[in-house]
Structures are given as structure tokens and as C-alpha cells.
Amino acid sequence: MIKPYILTIAGHDPSGGAGITADIDTIRQLGGKGLSVCTALTIQDDLTFKKCIWTDAGIILEQLEILMDRYPVQIAKIGIVETTEVLHQILNFLKYKNPAIRIIWDPVVKSGSGYTFHDSIKLTELYKLLEQCYLITPNYDEIKILSGGRNIAETITEISSRCHLFLKGGHRDDRRGTDILYRKNLLPLEFPPREILNIDRHGSGCVLSTAIATYLEQGYSPEKSCELAKEYTYRFLLDGLRKVKTEKLSLQYISQGQNPEEHLEHIHNVCISGGKWVQLRMKNYPEREILKTAFHALDICRQYGARLLIDDSVSVAKATGADGVHLGKNDLPPGEARKILGPGFTIGGTANTMEDIEELARENVNYIGLGPFRFTTTKTNLSPVLGIQGYSRIMEKVKQKKIDIPIVAIGGITGEDILPILETGITGVAVSGLLTQKHSENNSIELEKTIATIQEYFQKTTDRTRTVPVKR
């Protein structure tokens, strides 16, 4: 099956956080194939914007021509352009090459770091141009500039009579985060935020408009495309927020129990005792039962500020909004899981050899569970036991190959094993039986002490940050 082609026409950000680089990354994450035309070279990073060198209009059109002649492009997204005249030339050329092409324009007026591309854009100059667009995606500040001092409601009416308008609400003081889709000849449709994330991440506007374009190319309606793109961007922002609020997650609890109720009881006991990283592992249960239990487990984890991963099931992780998934060697490949989940989800993978680690590194997982350390009854079809010597040998190779991914020891680990394991360079441990206890006053006190002691081990024995970052 040929992947859909989505064309992005935008500036180049050397830091990769915005512009055509971010656009192509978004397209690929969503399963499409990105083509790009550069409208400007910028000198910037994620915090500072120094300079913009505009691409000559003739060069832009030459880039468009060779791509449009070669690839069946049905959707194009436009970002920063130098002038309305250049925009006019781009739109006319796209429509000349493919009259049915759908064009999404993100009218970027100012960079996230405050650099102003345009002081003003006259709406009257845009009327004919807007009729060639399928949808535009301004934020509230940009719609004010487009209005040129006119009544904003009137401006919205003028624009939405010519093309769809997806008004982003992140810059509004009132109803912050509520996006509104204004459709031609239809009532507006509101998209309230799942929650307000206090972060203004570089490139989020590019990601949103490109995600809408990609979902449209995949056959979704404008309404559904905007809904899915908003969720995708939420995950993108959440990813950034988690990087800002980096937590040292070194101790993972892998749930066990004779039934779902016991799994939840043990998860609750661990969370209330200070555990911050939980994997729900329910083997040989129907997916419906796992899904139901996962919702309850997520409620518990949210109550105590813990993160929840789902073992094996990408669909359950996505449906519940859990923090991620742990994939075994015979599960869905991490790259495919990333396409389904998108950014903001933690994806871990299981390894037993150096070759496994190298493969998972190529798949860009967020952490690797290496084991088993010793024989364990919680797993069937157990891989060869590694022990301290196996960990030492593999971690030395990891260091030599400069693989910078957190590696977590798994499999039959006891409290006495943790310090020797850490000496090998391992960055975390995942345990099950060590933290699985029936609830009682004495057990709760003991569990809290155990978790606190393990966390102290990591603080005392590491000379580098032992974190599990969430990657896009």
C-alpha cells in the first residue's frame, strides 16, 4: 500500500523543533510520507530566534514543480512565507498543478521566542487567497492581526465563509485551550482541552496543522482530523512537560495477583507506600478484562502521582491514556507501537542480549528491560539467566558503543541484589515479588521502608542522572 504524500511548505529550523523538520517528523509518526519545500532559512534554537533568510519565490516554485511532477500530492500544508504575494504564487501554482489539492495554511506571524515575521497582514489582501485554502489554523493572536483592528467575530465570519477556520485557543485568556472549528455553512464545533498544560512548547503550532493535514489525507473528516490532531498535539505538549519535570524513575513495580482485584490491591499498596512507576502485567486475561483493570489502575496511579505502563497491549495503553507500554520480544515492534501511540507515551522493550539492546536502540525505545537476572516463576519461556556477570559484560559493551538509553534490570531480583546490580551500570530495577504484599499495618510500614531504601540506593550509588525520559 502506497503511503499518502503530504507536502509541507515552510521554514527550516536547525534545532528541528519547528518548521519542515517538525512537520516531516509528525507526518512520519502518523504513518505518512512527508515531502518538503523550504520557504526560509532560520538561525534559531528552541529558545532564541536571531534571523530569517527568505527563500526566493522562484526557488520555491522550482522545488514545488519537481515534487508535484513526481509525487501524487493531494494535501499541502503552508507555514511561514515572506509576503502575501509569495503566498499568492504558491497557492496558484499548487492549484495549477492539482486543482483538487487541499491546502492547510498556518498563518505564522511570530515565532514562539517572540521574533516577528510580519507586523501586519491585511485581510482584504487575503480574501481571494483564502478561497484557495481548505482550512487555516491561526491562534488567537494571529486572528487579531488578520482582523487589522476590526471586530474579531466579523473577521471569523469573513474567513469561514471562504474556507474552514480552526482557531487555536492556547493564547486566549478566557476559555484557554478551547479550540474552535468554524466550518463553511455549518455551526462552530468546539474542542475543549483535556487539561491545561502550563507549557508553550516550541513547534506545537507546526505539529497541530501538520497533524490535521495528515489525518485529512488518511480519509478522516475535517471534524475528526481536528479532534485527532488536538489529541496528538496534547501528547506532544505532555512529552515536553515531562521533560521539564524530569522524575528519577528507577524502581518499577510489575504487578501480580491471582485476579484483577489483587493486581489493583497490590498496585495501591505500592503507590501509597511511595512507588512512582507501575507496570500492569496481566497475562492470559481477555483484553476486555485488562482494559477494565487498567482504567482502575490508572485512577490509583494518578491519585498518588505515579506513572502506569501496560504490559504488551498497545491498544489498552492508547484507550486508557496510560503513560506507556512495555513490549516483550514477541510483541508488536516498538516502531509500530510508536506510530499507533504517537508522542508522549513511554515505550519500553525487553532484551536478553547485546544484539537485542542494539535493535531496541534503533527502534528508539525509552528504556530497556534487560534480563532475567535469575530464574523467576512469573515468566514462561524464560530467556537465559544473566546474573551479575552477564549484566557486567553487556553493560561494558553498552558503554563502549555509547548507547544512551536507560537500562532496567528485570527477573527474580531481591533486595540484596540491587546494590551489586547497580555497580554494573544498570540504571534501574523492575521487581514484582519484592513489593507484592498483602495489606496490613505492619506490611505497609515494611513496604514503605523497602521502597525508600531502594530509592536511596539509587541516589547514593549513581554519579549520573538515572531517569527514564519520555521521547517522541
282 is in an annotated binding site: yes
Closest listed residue to residue 433, CA positions, set 415, 457, 418, 448: 415
User: What is the β-pairing status of strands 49-54 and 33-44?
Assistant: antiparallel
Closest listed residue to residue 6, CA positions, set 94, 80, 89: 94
At 378, is the pLDDT very low, low, confident or very high (cuts 50, 70, 90)? low
Q: What is the pLDDT of residue 66?
A: 97
At 253, is the pLDDT very low, low, confident or very high (cuts 50, 70, 90)? very high
Q: Rounded CA gap, 120 and 114, in Å? A: 15
Side chain identity, residue 363: E
- CATH superfamily label, 5-243: Ribokinase (3.40.1190.20)
46 is in an annotated binding site: no
Q: Which residue has the cell 523538520?
A: 21
pLDDT digits (tens, 9 = 90+) for 388-423: 999 999 999 999 999 989 999 999 999 999 999 999
Residue 244 has pLDDT above 60, yes or no: no
Average pLDDT on 320-332 reads 92
Q: What is the pLDDT of residue 355?
A: 96
Bridge partners of 12, per DSSP, are: 19, 41
Average pLDDT on 14-31 reads 87
Q: What is the pLDDT of residue 463?
A: 46
Q: Rounded CA gap, 326 and 310, in Å? A: 6
CATH number belonging to domain 247-461: 3.20.20.70
Q: What is the pLDDT of residue 364?
A: 84
412 is in an annotated binding site: yes
At 235, is the pLDDT very low, low, confident or very high (cuts 50, 70, 90)? confident
**CA-to-CA dists, residue 356 to 260, 363, 397, angstroms:** 32, 11, 12
376 is in an annotated binding site: yes
Task: Identify which has the larger pLDDT, 343 or 33.
Answer: 33
Q: What is the pLDDT of residue 17?
A: 82
pLDDT digits (tens, 9 = 90+) for 420-450: 999 999 999 999 999 997 666 667 788 989 9
Let me know if 376 is exposed, middle or buried by CB neighbors in 10 A (0-12, 13-18, 19+).
Answer: middle
Q: What is the pLDDT of residue 471?
A: 41
Per-residue burial over 360-374, b if 16 or more Cβ lie within 10 Å, else e, is: bbebebbbbbbbbbe
174 is in an annotated binding site: no
Give the 3-state secondary structure of the chain: CCCCEEEEEEEECCCCCCHHHHHHHHHHHCCCEEEEEEEEEEEECCCCEEEEEECCHHHHHHHHHHHHHHCCCCEEEECCCCCHHHHHHHHHHHHHHCCCCEEEECCCCECCCCCECCCCCCHHHHHHHHCCCCEECCEHHHHHHHHCCCCHHHHHHHHHCCCEEEEECCCCCCCCCCEEEECCCCCCEEECCCCCCCCCCCCHHHHHHHHHHHHHHCCCCHHHHHHHHHHHHHHHHHHHHHHHCCCCCCEEEECCCCCHHHHHHHHHHHHHCCCCEEEECCCCCCHHHHHHHHHHHHHHHHHHCCEEEEECCHHHHHHHCCCEEEECCCCCCHHHHHHHHCCCCEEEEEECCHHHHHHHHHCCCCEEEECCCCCCCCCCCCCCCCHHHHHHHHHHHHHHCCCCCCEEEECCCCHHHHHHHHHCCCCEEEECHHHCCCCCHHHHHHHHHHHHHHHHHHHHHCCCCCCCCCCC
pLDDT digits (tens, 9 = 90+) for 157-192: 999 999 999 999 865 656 677 999 999 889 999 998
Q: Rounded CA gap, 345 and 323, in Å? A: 5
pLDDT above 70 coverage of the chain, percent: 85
Q: What is the pLDDT of residue 130?
A: 92
Task: Identify which has the larger pLDDT, 287 or 30.
Answer: 287
pLDDT digits (tens, 9 = 90+) for 307-324: 999 999 999 999 998 989
283 is in an annotated binding site: yes
63 is in an annotated binding site: no
Q: Rounded CA gap, 158 and 153, in Å? A: 9
Q: Rounded CA gap, 405 and 398, in Å? A: 9
Residue 241 has pLDDT above 60, yes or no: no
Q: What is the pLDDT of residue 465?
A: 42
Q: Rounded CA gap, 121 and 46, in Å? A: 25
Q: Share the mean pLDDT of the chain.
A: 86
Mean pLDDT check: name the lowest of 29-33, 79-83, 240-244, 297-301: 240-244
Q: What is the pLDDT of residue 57?
A: 96
436 is in an annotated binding site: no
pLDDT above 90 coverage of the chain, percent: 57
377 is in an annotated binding site: yes
Q: What is the pLDDT of residue 269?
A: 94
Alpha-carbon 181 to chain mean position = 23
Q: Rounded CA gap, 376 and 411, in Å? A: 6
Residue 350: how many other CB atoms lie within 10 Å: 23
What residue segments make up the domains of the chain, in order of their start?
A: 5-243, 247-461
First-to-last C-alpha distance (Å) of the chain = 25
279 is in an annotated binding site: yes
Task: Identify which has the larger pLDDT, 156 or 463.
Answer: 156
Residue 248 has pLDDT above 60, yes or no: no
Q: What is the pLDDT of residue 469?
A: 45
